[in-house]
Amino acid sequence: MVKARAIVITGNGTNCENEAAHACRLGGFDEAVIAHIAQILSGEIRLDDFHFLNLTGGFLDGDDLGSAKAQANRLKHAAVSGTEEKLVEQFTRFIADGKLILGVCNGFQLMVKMGMLPGFDGDYLTQRTTLTFNDAGRFQDRWTYLKADTASPAVFTRGIEKGIYLPVRHGEGKFLCDSAATLDRIETEHLAPLRYSGPDYAAPTQEFPLNPNGSQNGIAGLCDATGRLMGLMPHPEAFVHRTQHPRWTREELPEEGDGLLLFKNAADYVRQNLL
């Protein structure tokens, strides 16, 4: 029987790989492999052997050149050892094969700076958006309410009717577009599946600290038109169980945390479409 396999890339400053792998297993993946980027560049591990790619949080390369920019350059231009293949070819083939990619926090920063998101018209290598310094001018570590767009094609947020509650921890989380046309297309095509809101999940907000970074239109997450690629600044892997909730000793909560649904949706998609 073919196994549902997830891969979590680590190295060069990531720090959420164990939590992401655990979330993948809880979500229903048969295997969740943590692979150092050096293992992929050496050819020891290939993305082709997996169905779900996780790009995790952290501080890639110390955020030199801006968050995740050095890694974006590396992945776009580095060759796989002993071959003539560039690593970016594995990424583009992974996408073309109908597989899933989730970037969280630093992973989201990596995806937008590589150009994987929003990926207009299948162009996954042209940067059109960025994530930059928070309006508050300092690192933000807090929990956020995220309003869901039920019209979004995002695979990961299927079944979320109103919204979810997840933590953020970042210094460069302000989402910006390169032009009004880009933002308009994101809005028109419903490519922002999650937005910062109040606890009623009624509407997106620019109000601090509900919107912890000043992101345009309250955008906390972005997907491509297929819904298979998604990035978000809040951390779903950091809330997969009730004991991770800040009020778990004072409120009656479900056993599963809000973030687990994203990984369950990924596993369901893989089993229904890729195995």
Q: Which of 16, 24, 237, 245 is catalytic?
A: 237
Strand partners of residue 164: 146
Q: Assign 64 a pLDDT band (cuts: 50, 70, 90).
A: confident
Residue 48 has phi, psi (to 5 degrees) of -60, -25
Q: Which of 16, 24, 105, 223 is catalytic?
A: 105
pTM for the model? 0.97
User: Encoding tokens for residue 205?
Assistant: 């907000």
Judge whether 105 counts as a catalytic residue. yes
How many CB atoms sit inside 10 A of residue 86's CB?
15
Q: What are the pLDDT digits (tens) for 222-266?
A: 999 999 999 999 999 999 999 999 999 999 999 999 999 999 999
Three-state DSSP class for 205? coil
Q: What are the pLDDT digits (tens) for 172-226?
A: 999 999 999 999 999 999 999 999 999 999 999 999 999 999 999 999 999 999 9
Judge whether 172 counts as a catalytic residue. no
Domain 5-273 has CATH 3.50.50.60: no
How far is Cα 44 from Cα 17, in angstroms, rounded to an integer? Answer: 19
How far is Cα 268 from Cα 31, in angstroms, rounded to an integer? Answer: 14
